[in-house]
Each structure stands twice: as structure tokens, then as C-alpha cells.
Amino acid sequence: MRIKLKDNWLFTTDDGTSKNISIPHNFPLNVRSYPNPVFEHGSYKRVLKEVKNVSGKRVFLRFHGVDYHSKIFVNNKQVFEHTNGYDLFEIEITDFLNFDGTDELIVEVSDYDISEHPERVAGKQDWYGNSTGIIQDVELWVVDEVYIKSVTIYPKDDLKTVDCFVEFSDGKDYEFEVTVLDPQDIVVLNRKFNKGKIEFEIPNPQLWSTEKPNLYSIIVNFKDGNNEDSFKSRFGIRYVKIENGRLLLNGEPIYLFGALDQNFYPDTHYSLRDKVKMLSELTKAKDMGLNLLRYHVKIPDDLYLEIADELGILVWIDLPYARELDEKSRKYLEYLLENTLKRHANHPSFIIMSLINESWGVKISENIDDETKNWLVSFYHKAKKIDPTRLFVDNSACVGNLHVVSDIDDYHYYHSFPYHNKQWKEKVEKFASGKFRTFLKKPEKILPKVLSEFGVWGLPDQRTWEFNWPSYPVALMGMVFDGSTPEEIMKNIYGFHNLEDFIFQTQLHQFWGLKYQIETIRLHPEIVGYVITEFSDIAWEANGLLDYNRMPKFFYPYIRFLNTGVLGIIKNHTSLLKNSKYIADIFISNMLNKKIDGKMVVRTEKRFLKEIQLSIEPFKLSNIGKFEFTIDDEEQNIFVEIFDGGEMLSRNFYPIMKLEIRELHKEIEWISDEKVKIDNFEVVHESKRIFGNLDWRCDWISGFTIFNTLRDLNISAVLWGLNELVSEYILVPKKLEKFSTRNSIISKVIGWGFGIGTLLYVKNENGKSKIFTTLKNSELSKMLISNIISKE
């Protein structure tokens, strides 16, 4: 008998409060554990009625994850003690049981102040709140003296042969029977074996892929004298490898459309929700065109991978980290590596693992010491030896650190949209061409290039937040500011803008930013995938495609148009036109493993513009050439649609706006110097810091561009076109209460209102109006300002 002990637990905190709960479970977050985690302690109690009258059997408990320090008691006797929060561990409790239906299990769990133990592996619990409790499943195994401990399956690259390891509890070999059922539950194999390491072939294999996630079942039956057992698992026939700079799944190139999944929740925090909610959540990933989720610096429970297996979502797991790895925590990571690879071996969705993220806990830079380098190399080779069927990243790198040895050349960049489009474009070009250094020493073979973190923010509606989050401060990596609960922050925003419109415009900013950055990546076929930061918002961090409740942001129906194998791209699209003439170059990125013989249609929302017959090879970027047309005043979007036969493969669209020539009866002061003096404002360079790590560049925590929507304006077109007009300066009010939307025509807000400024401000003095702007002094800026201001 192997069952999950999910229900009928009594959870008690140190103050004596008790509550009936289900496992997995986190201690509820409170003012002590968020945002700066400190010591927590409590206990879980359960009666093991399941073992009544089963004496003569062996009984084991398997804990999939308890954070951080646990003591296990059976009938008031301590039977085990465990530290570290991420590994699966098991204990035998047979000798402590009465088997009378009253056996009592108690698990005491405690945590610690993370700030006092930087050497301990904790993941990002000091970013988003402490995790304490039985955070993953607990299993009860009731078995004979000799039983099947594990069955692990590794499909080979011929995509029909399987290596299978059947491990018995005493380490010996026994005769056993293997039955394999195909995805339709038809028996395709039934054989007996007498060795723990076996090999068998699947007839007419149905492969597991992101499009067809076929799953087989394996049943291992064993009987030897008084010992009898049956073990069941699912697996998929798939193989992943690298070749000539490509990622191959089942021998075919695949492009990764990914998102970073930090997997915290407002109610269950560090633990998964139930299967219905998890299915809803991960189905949304598929709906948005994603085929990969990067499970960030924590170990997923089986349910997450089971659903990924069923839906056809690839999973990239990051090992958790310590802030300062010492010898003990390095050894734990090595143990955790082996523990995780064995535990999740049968999940076909799990294809990649990062051993270190962004050099956290170690220093993997140009000046890396030999001991650290040698450890990282040995860590990588240990992973490859344990599981050669998966890909491993030594250090998922970002600015300031490098790879040493890896299966994938991945890197993290963050640049704000539209302010730093040029820097983003240059970085992507250098990364794609290999001119940007990502390795300590150039690898001997061409590795797949993946931009494994990038993104921009888009604020959710904090009024819909669940659980206690509306009362928690919007902290920044553990830092808390006065008046920083969501409600208090939004009051500042109320003072200068309509709340509903503000939230919509931040999400509009996020969509167009992602669109620009994804298209830039797609113009470089040397890059074989990307990972958007991130799948869902988390606490104060608002760069999710979904909000913290896993509800869609406004652009949910549109993002799938970007995460698609075939994409028509207008390179260097100009959204703001000085006249009616539009000229553009169109490219088509085909990241499908098939040739496209079809047509491309270019149109506006009003009329058909052009049709071109296409023949595009797999994994190629094709230059379709220039096209030009004259736009009508009412046209606001250009569409690029690609068809293969009668099927539409993709649709892309671009905002456009023809600026009218309008007379402006107001003086403009063009500001391009911090020395300029303006009453109630200071002129700030974008490099000026706010709250430690923040500055007005907004490359990581985004700056939102908010327009006064009372004016007749195609916001999307102006937002896209601002990259040509913005300077490095911004006007910041000395007193926020004197700052209003009526006067600030184009506002810039850092994250959750950490900073509020303006790019275009109308000041009324002595009955006259004067315009102050940090936009570049150009003809296009003048036309844009006249189109906005003349509507007043």
C-alpha cells in the first residue's frame, strides 16, 4: 500500500492555536515571516488509522519536502530528525507502531532567521516571504520485508529502447514481471526479468512531445515467498540533446517559448494548490503559446510535473541556492541533485536543470578561484553521469558572471521599454553573434543560445488580491518603506491619475515591451529560445504574464501571437509618421521544423495592402523585402498574417499614427541638463538612484509611461515611438501632492509608485501656459507635442 497522507492533520502553533489542515501546508505568513523571515515553530499531528491491523508489514513515511528542521515522533517517541527543506527523505516507523488504529504521528517543524544563516540553502525566501512547514506531500508505504524501492526509466536516443532500473529494498536481484501499457491503456509488453538493470523495446512507440504528450504506464510485479509488491509509474518516450547549436527533442529541432515560474501563491505560499487549480494555471501557459516553464530555485512536487507531462509543457528546474555556499551547503546541493534526478527521473517534461543561478552563493566571474571552478566543473560532470538523458546548465548567467561548462549558452538581460530599446537590440545582437562573452573559456562546440530571463512589468489591480496580501507592504527584496502597502501606494497614484486607466496602461506598457523584445530575439535565428520573466506576478514583483492570483492580464489573448513558431516581423517599425507615407522591411521567422509554402497578407483594420507567396525553410529567418503604402487618418494598426494553405499560422500587428501639422500657441522649454531650475521640480538624470538598487533607468523594475488619455491619442503608437524621442532626463516633483495628470501629459512611474515623474508637463502661471519637456528637441517631438496639447 502506497498512499498520500493528505487530510486529517491538526496543525498547532506555539501560541496554542490549532486548525485542521491538509498537506502540503505552509505556516501562514505573518508580520514576522514577511518580508524579513525569522524563526518559526509549530507541529502537525495525525492518527495513522491506515496501519490498523497490518502488523507483520514494514511501514515507511516518505516526506517530499519539510522546511526546514523537522523532528518526527510516533507514539511520543522521536524516531527521526531532518534538516534542509528541499530533498525527499524517508523513515521506517514499523518498530514504533501498535497497529491498533490509535498510532499517533507528530511532526515538529521549525525554521530560522535567514539573515543569520546565509550559508543555508533557502532559495528566495527572503524575497517573498518565509516558507515553513510540511510544504510537499507525505506518503505512507505499507510493504513486505522485501519491496520495490524505486523504478526509474530512461528512454534511449533510438526512441524505442528503454533502460529501466528496478531497485529492491535490500539491494539484491529478484525475478519480477514488467507490464507496459501504451497511451490507450493497451498492453504492449509483458515480460519477466531477474536483474535490476534491464532493457526493453517499445513496439511502434508513440513519442512524448509538446504537441502530443503521449504517456505510457509501467507496472512492476514482484513475488518471492512471503514478499509481494507492485509498483506503478508513468513515463514518456522522448529524448533531448544538443547538436550544432540546436536543441533537439526526439531528434527534431525545437524552439523554447518559456516563462520563469517562481511558483509562490497568495494563499498556499510555497506549496502547490490542488490539481484542479494547477491544471487551470498550467493550461493558461499553453493558451499563451508557452511550451516551457523554468521552475525557479526550488524543487517541484510531483503534481506539478505530472500535469506538465499530461499537457506537454517542458520543465527546466533550477536548484535552490544559499547566499554564501560553504562546504556543507555544497555537499547538500550535490546530494539534492542526485535526490531530485532520481525522484523525477520518469517525468518526460523535465528536460533541463540549472545547478547555479546568476552565480548566487559563489563567485563565477573572470576572477573565479581554482577551487570554485573545479567544484563547478565536477558538479556538472556529476550531473551528466547521474543522468545523461537531460541537459545541465552550470551557472545560468547574467551581467557580471559567466559559464564554465554547460550544455546551454544561456544569459539574462533586462532593459526598459521604450527607453533602452537601443541597448536591448545591441545586447541581443552581440549575444546572438557570439561577440558578447558568456563563458570563462570559449566552449569547444557550438551550444544552443537561450535568452533565459528578460521582461518588463505591468501592475495588477491590487483590489483583487487574495488572502492577506493587501495588508502587507510592497517590499523590495526585503526592504520596506513607510506607507508601502498597496492601498497606501495607490493613494499616491490616485493623486495624479485615474486608477483603472493607470493599471490598464501599465499592462499596455508590458505587452508592447514584451512584443518589441521578443521580436528582436526572433530576428536572430542563432538564438533557439527565450524565457520571459515571468509566468505570474509574485508579491511585490509585477512582471508576470498572469497576476498573483493566476488571473490573466489584459493582453492574455494577444501574447500567444508572439509565442508562435512562425512570426511575421516588421523590422524597425516606425509608429509615428510625419506624413502619410509608410515604408517597412518585413521578415518572417520560421522556428517550426517544417517548410512553409503559403502566403503573407499585409493589411490594416480597414483595407487589404499586399499579398505575397512564400516558401520558407525550417528554422530560418527570411527577408521578404520592403513594402510601402499611404495610410488613412483613421488607420491605427498594420497586420501581418501568414497562411499555410487555408490555415492561418500567425498574426502580428503594429500600432501606427499619422501626426497632423498643428499650430501650438505655447512656449516649449526643452530640458537636457540637470542644472535647469524649475519651481517645484528637479531635473534628474536617469542614473540617479532611488531606494538603493532602483534608479530611473528602470531596467529591472520597470518604469511605466502613462499618458493623459483625455486627449485624442493612439497610446500604443506613441508608446512604441517614444524610443526615438526620450532623453536621459526626467522631471521629478518635489512634492507629489502638487503633481496632477491634468498638467503631466506624459508621466513616468517606477514600479509601485517608488518614483513618479514627468516627460511632458504643462505649467500655468499668471494666466499663461508653458510646456516643459525632457523629450529630445526634434521635429518629431514638436509634432507629437502639438498633436497632444492642441486638444486641450
Q: What would the pLDDT profile of 81-91 be if each residue is shown by its tens digit?
A: 999 999 999 99
pLDDT over 80 (residue 690): yes
**SS3 state of residue 659:** coil
Mean pLDDT of 97-117: 94
pLDDT over 60 (residue 299): yes
Q: 604-619 burial, b if ≥16 CB within 10 A, otherwise e?
A: beeeebeeeebebeeb
Of 206, 202, 204, 207, nearest in space to 191 by CA: 202
Q: How confident is the model at residue 710 (pLDDT cuts 50, 70, 90)?
A: low
Give the least confident one: 533-537, 668-672, 751-755: 751-755
Contact residues for 36 (Cβ-Cβ < 8 A; gap 6+):
115, 126, 478, 480
Please tell me the predicted confidence (pLDDT) of residue 369: 93
DSSP for residue 344: T
Q: How confident is the model at residue 462 (pLDDT cuts 50, 70, 90)?
A: confident
Mean pLDDT of 309-326: 97
pLDDT over 70 (residue 297): yes
Please tell me the predicted confidence (pLDDT) of residue 709: 67
pLDDT over 90 (residue 789): no
Between CA 588 and CA 595, with CA 591 as vertex, the angle to 5 degrees is 80
Q: 260-280 burial, b if ≥16 CB within 10 A, otherwise e?
A: bbbbbbbebbbbbbeeeebee
pLDDT over 60 (residue 792): no
Regarding predicted confidence, which is higher, 699 or 32?
A: 699
Amino acid at 29: L
Full strand arrangement of the beta sheet holding 148-155: 148-155, 161-168, 197-201
pLDDT over 90 (residue 233): yes
Of 298, 353, 346, 20, nearest in space to 165 by CA: 346
pLDDT over 80 (residue 410): yes
Q: How confident is the model at residue 126 (pLDDT cuts 50, 70, 90)?
A: confident
Within 10 angstroms of residue 19's Cβ, the number of other Cβ atoms is: 11
Give the least confident one: 73-87, 575-589, 760-774: 760-774
Cα(716)–Cα(575) distance, rounded to whole angstroms? 9
672: left (phi over 0), alpha (psi -120 to 50) or beta: alpha
Mean pLDDT of 48-75: 96
Q: Percent of the chain at pLDDT above 90?
A: 80
pLDDT digits (tens, 9 = 90+) for 611-646: 999 999 999 999 999 999 999 888 999 999 999 988
Give the least confident one: 84-98, 213-227, 430-444, 749-763: 749-763
pLDDT over 80 (residue 678): yes
Give the least confident one: 81-90, 467-476, 664-673, 717-726: 467-476
Q: How confident is the model at residue 680 (pLDDT cuts 50, 70, 90)?
A: confident
Q: How confident is the model at residue 736 (pLDDT cuts 50, 70, 90)?
A: confident
Helix or strand (DSSP H, E) at 431? helix 421-433
Strands (E), 182-291: 187-193, 197-201, 216-224, 227-235, 240-243, 246-249, 252-253, 256-261
Cα(409)–Cα(620) distance, rounded to whole angstroms? 20
Mean pLDDT of 506-511: 96
Of 572, 590, 437, nearest in space to 522 by CA: 590
User: How confident is the prediction for the chain on average, in pLDDT?
Assistant: 93
Mean pLDDT of 700-717: 85
pLDDT over 60 (residue 791): no
Of 653, 762, 774, nearest in space to 716 by CA: 653
Q: How many residues does the chain have?
A: 792
Please tell me the predicted confidence (pLDDT) of residue 467: 83
Cα(663)–Cα(456) distance, rounded to whole angstroms? 36
Helix or strand (DSSP H, E) at 515? helix 499-522
